[in-house]
Amino acid sequence: MHRVSALRSLGVHVAAVSRELQERLVPMAEGLADPTNRALALRSVGAAVAELPRELQRRLAVLAESLPQPADRARAFAALGS
């Protein structure tokens, strides 16, 4: 649960942290066992994804695509695109 809280608290500020920390946060989101928590982490990042390096953007998009529930995928992509 601590990983989810850390990702949520950074949220839209993820682009302001160092590249090294960004590179650690993406695997943290990828490693969340609960799809609901992965969806929440993606929604927390939201439009800040545009400020991340392309490779990290791609990995977050793949993570969104892997969500099992169509509604979670739609909300994640909507948040990442806004």
pLDDT tens, residue by residue, 1-59: 577 777 766 666 777 888 888 888 888 889 999 998 899 888 888 888 888 899 999 99
* pLDDT score, position 11: 66
Return the number of other C-beta atoms located less than 10 Å from residue 50's C-beta: 11
Q: Over range 75-80, report the average pLDDT.
A: 89
Residues 6+ apart with CB under 8 A from 23: 56
Query: 6-37 burial by CB neighbour count: b if 16+ within 10 A, else e?
Result: ebeebeeebbeeeeeebeebbeebeebeeeeb
* pLDDT score, position 62: 94
The whole-model pTM stands at: 0.82
* pLDDT score, position 82: 62
Structure token pair of residue 49: 């994804």
